[in-house]
Chains A and B, each alone.
Chain A
Amino acid sequence: MEQLEVHNLTKIFGRKRKAALNLVKQQVSKTEILKKTGATVGVYDANFKVKAGEIFVIMGLSGSGKSTLIRMLNRLINPTSGQIYIDGKDVAKMNEEELRQVRREKINMVFQNFGLFPHKTILENTEYGLEVRGVAKEKRRQLAEAALDSANLLAFKDQYPNQLSGGMQQRVGLARALANDPDILLMDEAFSALDPLIRRDMQDELLNLQEEKQRTIIFITHDLNEALRIGDRIAIMNDGQILQIGTGEEILTNPQNDFIKEFVEDVDRSKVLTAQNIMTAPFTTNIENDGPNVALSRMRVEEVSMLLAVDKRRQLKGSLTAEAALKARKEKLPLMEVIDKNVKTVSPDTLITDIFDLIYDSPTPLAVVNENGRLLGVIIKGRVLEALAVNSSEA
């Protein structure tokens, strides 16, 4: 018996549940069922096991039923059918009182919008779980302060949630759950409301916590990169059903159906990103009008040492370095004669993987030029590296 086992868990909202169930069994889509019966399929026939100390990620697009699934684990939503075993006891069959004990001692939750009580201070929020359990005041203060201390928030303990940034608030949410020292932690899109940088920090923090003490974590996200970073195993959901469960590697290398293929395509960005996704605006000089002084002053203003040379119709003619411009000024030459005509060009839909080899040994940026020879933008090394790094902000 694993720490958490879920068998045939199903949730149908609304009326005519029987009819809806029959339709689900026939693989009819969610929208069809809603049209026919007026019932919404939240989750259908979910089966999985989670070992103690494992981070189990459930992911899917919005409306795939992942939030409903996680809420059934602690019975915030009552399942229509199925069993949920925590340490071998079926939560779905428990009465109010038994369920309350399980929620107090075994399973806690962190919410997407933090779920902090606006009328309580940070400390009062953090000790809430302990207060509910009836822990003596001194003792719960101590535990809550310790939890806040490990989240580096002790200084803020007498502040109110609305005085804190999003990241801090979510650390409070996490501290509130951890102060209780639960066996299982449910995290419902816990980092989705934070900005990308803080999100990475929080992911790191969570992994650090896991190193100190192995907890069972059920983590919900719609962001595959997040799932790959922190998940020991990942379950992908769509239309209320779990399509595949496996490690990140298994899912990337062996997607079991087209939906998942499409889903994981995103992650190998070098295969889908093209030149036009990463090009920046070019600094140009119009060599039919400008002389070397104009070109040099533009370089000073833009803080660059090189400009792309174009004609009036923005046709790419070459590149102009600062040295070449100085030479032209000294020798009174027109710019036309000092530009370097050997600029490497790529078309806008060149894949990043191909650009990578080109830019690697090119001293100058690459120019992005369309089929008519018109200059659209430039690609610099930094942007390529940035794009290749796994960045969750664009999920």
Chain B
Amino acid sequence: MEFVDIFSYKLPIAHLIDQLTNWLTTNCAGFFNLITKGGSALMDFITNGLLFLPPLLLIVLLTIAAYFGSNRHFKLPALTLLGLLFVYNQGLWTGLMNTFTLVLIASLVSVIIGIPLGIWMAKNDKVQAVVKPILDFMQTMPAFVYLIPAVAFFGIGMVPGVFASVIFALPPTVRFTNLAIRQIPKELVEATDAFGSTPKQKLFSLELPMAKPTIWAGINQTIMLALSMVVTASMIGAPGLGKDVLSALQHANIGTGFVAGLALVILAIIIDRFTQKFNQPIQAKPKLTPKQKRNHRLIVGGILAAIILILGAGNFKSLTQKAKPTINLGYVDWDSEVASTNVIAQVLRDQGFKVELTSLDNAVLWKSVANGSVDAEVGAWLPTTHGNLYKQYHNNLVDLGPNLKGVKLGLAVPSYMNVNSISDLSNQANKTITGIEPGAGVTAAAKKTLKAYSNLNDWQLSTSSSGAMTVALDKAIKQHQEIVITGWSPHWMFAKYKLKYLADSKHTMGRSENIHTIVKKNLKTDNPKAYRILNKFTWTKEDMESVMLDINNGMSPQKAAQKWIKAHPKQVKAWVD
């Protein structure tokens, strides 16, 4: 009889989950693609329609709607008008519309799934017993976890964002519906039964009308949760205000982060107040005369027709422009990659391409190139930094070789610290290496370094974001404290501060590296022209740092790219010919 120690044997749960998602991804690919295609088309349709209307006109229309919707009080319309004008003034209008589309679709899907599920739960105790723990699980599981399968199933963009938002935002609608129907006084339910109602008659004449206020409260909760998910969903490429917030976090821009956050708050308050209007308790209201009913129908019908017409017009406009070939560039929100991606994007635009830029986490980005949801990226640090990712995905993508030679990674310290090599480190800086995103290549290298050097065995790596790291660095230098960071160049911080790399005798932080361009597998056949340009794209460290510095000094990435392109016509010509 052999004793098996279960504590020395780790249950392969993670492995099983991986197997399951892989199986789903391969076997249900057709289904997922259909949803992705349909969902993207629908959301583009709505966003295009919303963006087709002049913002000021839309703001005025919404203000008028708020005025009549709030029984001619002035608070809501004033808030709508000022809030939306503020968002428009800050140049976040497109983001707002994208966010609104995401929230709208996520809420609609939640309602379409949630209300029937809630009704079923209310009617059947067994279903309730099964669904309740699942809902608890859905609500308490960190939303980040949903992002991973969302990318595996639906790639990147709006659709996985909606998928994650729905999982996160669905529970309140289900719960409130269930609760509302179960709370209907027993005597009323008995009355409907006693008169011989069918279940359907019971549902439509008693349960839904009585439950309506509570269900609306649930829907309101769902909308708010969907809104709170937009920031998280932006990590997997969902466009909108979340992207601005996330980017501000990664660059540690307090101001832009605050403004984007404020825009989200304004949107949340407006949506909340509008939906509260539907959430009023049952009360005696005078019956409408047939004539009033007809007028109501006419008004509602007119509004619906107008909306459809506008959406149609907006999309007709975009359809006529759709002749342009589209190329989807992915990037990680690091300053170096923002510079290079914006330059190549501008070059492609000048060549008549429609370019979509998607900012993603590094690991997600590699996965997206491998599964073809992103056409190309120009920020692959090889062979060491992103070596693991390359190993994982190299069979499913094409490496077009370096576009920038001689980059360096390493642990860096301010020059006033008296350590010169990694092996000199003992107990400086609280034995902490201040790092960037957990998914970044330099993070993996730093982990390897901690393992390789015996003097670092009680050191720790604290990951955050590249923006947070530069803020910490800035603070440490101003206060003349010790700090060890995961550094890489080209980067503006080397121009701004006096920093030095620590000598790396074991080369665990990589020897000299290059930045490569990688593209999806069949780009060459799909889009030969873009492929050729991407293939020829090369520049130098100095080129990149000049663009980076412009951006860091407050120029918008697109402007900085345009400026650089203007200044280097020859170089650009060589790429496009």
B180-195 at interface with A (beta carbon < 8 Å): 185, 187-188, 190-195
Q: Which of A76, A102, A117 contacts B190 (CB 8 A)?
A: A76
- Cβ-defined contact, A74 with B194, below 8 A: yes
- Cβ-defined contact, A100 with B198, below 8 A: yes
Chain B CB within 10 Å, residue with most, of A71, A131, A132: A132
Binary contact readout B177-215 vs A (1 if CB under 8 angstroms, 0 otherwise):
000000001011011111111100100011001100000
Is B573 interfacial (CB 8 A cutoff)?
no
Give the CA-CA distance A131 to B206 in the complex, in Å.
13
Is A81 interfacial (CB 8 A cutoff)?
no
The 27 sampled A-B contact pairs (Cβ below 8 Å) are A76-B194, A102-B196, A103-B194, A103-B195, A103-B196, A104-B195, A108-B194, A109-B194, A111-B187, A111-B191, A112-B187, A113-B185, A115-B188, A115-B191, A116-B191, A117-B188, A117-B210, A118-B282, A119-B209, A120-B205, A128-B191, A128-B195, A128-B205, A132-B198, A133-B196, A158-B286, A180-B195
Is A162 interfacial (CB 8 A cutoff)?
yes
CB-defined contacts of B191 to chain A, threshold 8 Å: 109, 111, 115-117, 128
- Cβ-defined contact, A159 with B284, below 8 A: yes
Chain A: which residue is nearest B198 at the CB level? A100
Is B10 interfacial (CB 8 A cutoff)?
no
- B263–chain A nearest beta-carbon distance, Å: 39
Is A60 interfacial (CB 8 A cutoff)?
no
- A387–chain B nearest beta-carbon distance, Å: 35
- B202–chain A nearest beta-carbon distance, Å: 9
- Cβ-defined contact, A115 with B187, below 8 A: yes
- B192–chain A nearest beta-carbon distance, Å: 8
Is A85 interfacial (CB 8 A cutoff)?
no
Give the CA-CA distance A128 to B201 in the complex, in Å.
10
A62-120 at interface with B (beta carbon < 8 Å): 71, 74, 76, 99-104, 108-109, 111-113, 115-120
Chain A: which residue is nearest B199 at the CB level? A96
- A42–chain B nearest beta-carbon distance, Å: 15
Is A129 interfacial (CB 8 A cutoff)?
yes
Is B15 interfacial (CB 8 A cutoff)?
no
Q: Which of A116, A119, A132, A186 contacts B282 (CB 8 A)?
A: A119
CB-defined contacts of A129 to chain B, threshold 8 Å: 195-196
Is B478 interfacial (CB 8 A cutoff)?
no
CB-defined contacts of A74 to chain B, threshold 8 Å: 194
Known contacts A99-B196, A118-B282, A180-B195, then 20 further A-B pairs from the complex at CB < 8 Å, ordered by chain A residue:
A71-B190, A76-B190, A100-B196, A104-B195, A108-B195, A109-B191, A111-B187, A111-B190, A113-B187, A115-B187, A115-B191, A116-B191, A117-B188, A117-B206, A117-B209, A119-B282, A121-B287, A132-B196, A132-B197, A132-B198
- Tell me the A residues contacting B by CB distance below 8 Å: 71, 74, 76, 99-104, 108-109, 111-113, 115-121, 128-129, 131-133, 158-160, 162-163, 180, 186
Q: How many of B's residues come within 8 Å of A, CB to CB?
A: 21
CB-defined contacts of B195 to chain A, threshold 8 Å: 103-104, 108, 128-129, 132, 180
- A71–chain B nearest beta-carbon distance, Å: 8
Give the CA-CA distance A302 to B195 in the complex, in Å.
57
B120-169 at interface with A (beta carbon < 8 Å): none
Q: Which of A71, A99, A160 contacts B284 (CB 8 A)?
A: A160
- Cβ-defined contact, B284 with A162, below 8 A: yes
- B293–chain A nearest beta-carbon distance, Å: 15
Give the CA-CA distance A116 to B206 in the complex, in Å.
10
Give the CA-CA distance A100 to B199 in the complex, in Å.
11
Give the CA-CA distance A128 to B196 in the complex, in Å.
10
CB-defined contacts of B197 to chain A, threshold 8 Å: 132
Chain A: which residue is nearest B191 at the CB level? A115
- Cβ-defined contact, A117 with B194, below 8 A: no
Chain B: which residue is nearest A113 at the CB level? B187
Given A100-B198, A132-B201, A76:B287 Cβ within 8 A: no
Give the CA-CA distance A128 to B210 in the complex, in Å.
15
Q: Which of B193, B196, B205, B284 contacts A117 (CB 8 A)?
A: B205
CB-defined contacts of B282 to chain A, threshold 8 Å: 118-119
- A127–chain B nearest beta-carbon distance, Å: 11
Chain A CB within 10 Å, residue with most, of B195, B197, B198, B201: B195
Give the CA-CA distance A101 to B198 in the complex, in Å.
11
Give the CA-CA distance A102 to B282 in the complex, in Å.
32
- A77–chain B nearest beta-carbon distance, Å: 9
Give the CA-CA distance A263 to B88 in the complex, in Å.
79
- A312–chain B nearest beta-carbon distance, Å: 59
Chain A CB within 10 Å, residue with most, of B205, B206, B286: B205
- Cβ-defined contact, A101 with B196, below 8 A: yes
Report the 8 A-B pairs with minimum CB-CB distance, sorted nearest first: A103-B196, A104-B196, A160-B284, A115-B191, A109-B194, A129-B195, A100-B196, A115-B187
